[in-house]
Structure formats: structure tokens, C-alpha cells
Amino acid sequence: MAEVIRTRGLVKRYGRTAALAGLDLSVRPGEVHGFLGPNGAGKSTTIRILLGLARATAGEVSVFGADPWREAPRLHRRIAYVPGDVSLWPNLTGGEAIDLIGRLRSGSRDRAAAAAERERLVDAFEFDPRKKGRAYSKGNRQKAALIAAFATPAKLYIMDEPTSGLDPLMEQVFNREVRRVAAEGATVLLSSHILSEVEQLCSHVSIIRQGAVVESGTLADLRHLTRTSVAFSDAGVADADVRVVGALPGVHDVRREGGRVTLSADDTAMSGVLAELARIRVTGVIVQPASLEELFLRHYASSESESESESESEPEPDAGPDAGPGGRP
């Protein structure tokens, strides 16, 4: 199955600063793919290249099999994009801005269907389309961009921190619309640093660190790389029994405090751990599978340690006067 998005060895430099350092990303049709990393990791730079707004310094990039730098106008008819910081035309109303974006994208839906869909989304996002763009708050500007994106069918939705400025209720509306377009066969690339958002929506995840993808796969695949947490009441549990549990293969970090025993265990060790807990008849057992947050923090904790050691031994490079992710090269 051909990839909707494919990058290999993607590099982007601004002066002497490398925003991307050999990024490999693969997004297949129908995926809701989480692109995860903190601010400054290279997510937005990658998206600018995918949209044809910036040119790669080196490496390969394709969207629907085409070069986005050379074929951006054609590709944009199949793409809906939502940035994390939306600007609207100050003298247009929100409704006019949404209609204009829809016409620019040349969607295939007929006018009556498009109008009905727009009205449904306006109601769902509790958006007032009559105000001028200059009067909207950040959250309402974000709603306008989301309505424009979801109102006209697209084959690929690229979203860069799309829920920035939304309240929790509107985040749920957003989640519902992402699931809808995915069920209709669209592909979604969701860039975010909100772990819970990615975990709720995404079937696949790529974690980016210092301009390169360090982990990629399904959530199930990535959870195999972390440990399951287990906790139970220590009432009636002898110290000898705790030591036996702690000595099982694949068991780590056993602690007894505050009336609870906690430990972490490799996935392959869980059957033995649960059998032993049943044998000693523990109560109040809580088993928590590894989360995306644990995997994310593991990578970034090691990254911060590496950066601190490097900063002690090497001077900070001069980024040059043209450094930074703004503007087309």
C-alpha cells in the first residue's frame, strides 16, 4: 500500500542550525498518525515542508507520491491544514472566512451539502460566524479553522497543535470529527505535545527528538518497550512474600510504602507476577499498562541528560542571522 506521506533522511537547516536531522516518517492511507514531541523538536518544520511552504535542505519527501515543493497547488486540493496559531482576515466575518477557505480548496461536495455540513459544524463547535475576524479570541479563531477543514472533504488532514486554545468540551467535538473523517477513509497527521490527545485518537505514533524520529509504530508496538505498573495492598502480606515477588524475572523497582506495594514488570513477566500475587492472596490489585507518556518521557529524559553533558563540554553554536523557522527560504 503506497504511503500518503513519506520522508527519508529529511534535513532542514536554517543557517548553522539544523531543525531536522535525517527525519524518516511514514504515514499510510487511513491512519490517524500522531506526530509527538515538545515545542522545538521539529514538528512544525516538518509540516511546513509537507505543505510546500519550506524546501528541504536534503533528503526525500513525498505527499501522495508527489514533491510538495514543486506540486503544492495540486496537492493542496486534497489536503486540509489546521495550524496551532490561526490568523483570520480581520475584515471578514468568521463565516465568510470559512466559505473562502472552502472555495480555495475546491472541494467536491455540492453547495447545498457543503452549506449543511458547515452549519452542522458551526453548531457543534458553538461558533458565532457573524463576528469580524479581528473580534475573535484565540479559541474562536481555532474553531473557524477546524470548521473550514472539516466542512470540505479532504484525503489528508494535517493538524499542528489543532486544539490549542480550545476548552475540554470543544476538544471532545474535535476528537469526534477526527474519528468521523478517519472512518470515511481520510488520513490524519496529528502533531501534538498533548499525550492524552494522541493516545485517544491515534492508531500509529512517531516520536520526534532533536529533528529525528526516535520511535515509530502502533501504540501496541510502542507499549511493548515500556513496563506495566502493578500495585496492591500490603495488608497481611509478609516481607518474605514481597521479596519473592521482587525476585521474579522481569520485575523491577519493588517498593513498600504507605500501605501499598508497587512494582513495574516487563510484559513477558506479567503472567508470573499475577500468578504469584494470586498465590499470596493480595487485595486491592491495580494493573496499569504502560502509557505513551512513559515512553515519551523516557526519550526526553535521556535527551536532556545528553544535552546537559554536551553543554558542559562544547560552546553553543552560532545560529547565524537567518536562523529560525520563519519564512520561505
> Which residue carries 531536522 as its cell?
20
DSSP secondary structure string, 201-220? H-SEEEEEETTEEEEEEEHH
**pTM listed for this prediction:** 0.76
pLDDT greater than 90 at residue 318: no
Q: How confident is the model at residue 225 (pLDDT cuts 50, 70, 90)?
A: low
For residues 24-37, give the mean pLDDT. 94
In contact, 50 and 63? CB cutoff 8 Å: yes
Gap between the Cα atoms of 261 and 17, Å rounded: 48
For residues 13-27, give the mean pLDDT. 94
pLDDT greater than 80 at residue 81: yes
96 CB-side CA count, 13 A = 10
pLDDT greater than 90 at residue 321: no
DSSP secondary structure string, 95-147? HHHHHHHHHHHT-SS-HHHHHHHHHHHHHHTT--TTSBGGG--HHHHHHHHHH
pLDDT in tens, 116-157: 999 999 999 999 999 999 999 999 999 999 999 999 889 999
Q: Which residues are 251's β-sheet partners?
A: 265
Per 3-state DSSP, what percentage of the chain is helix, strand, and coil (rounded to 5)?
40, 25, 35
Q: Please state which of the ranges 99-108, 210-219, 245-254 shows the lowest mean pLDDT.
A: 99-108
Q: How confident is the model at residue 328 (pLDDT cuts 50, 70, 90)?
A: very low
Angle subtended at Cα 216 by Cα 211 and Cα 217, rounded to the nearest 5 degrees = 165
pLDDT greater than 60 at residue 46: yes
Q: Name the 3-class secondary structure at 84.
A: coil
For residues 295-310, give the mean pLDDT. 58
pLDDT in tens, 268-299: 899 999 999 999 999 999 998 777 777 777 66
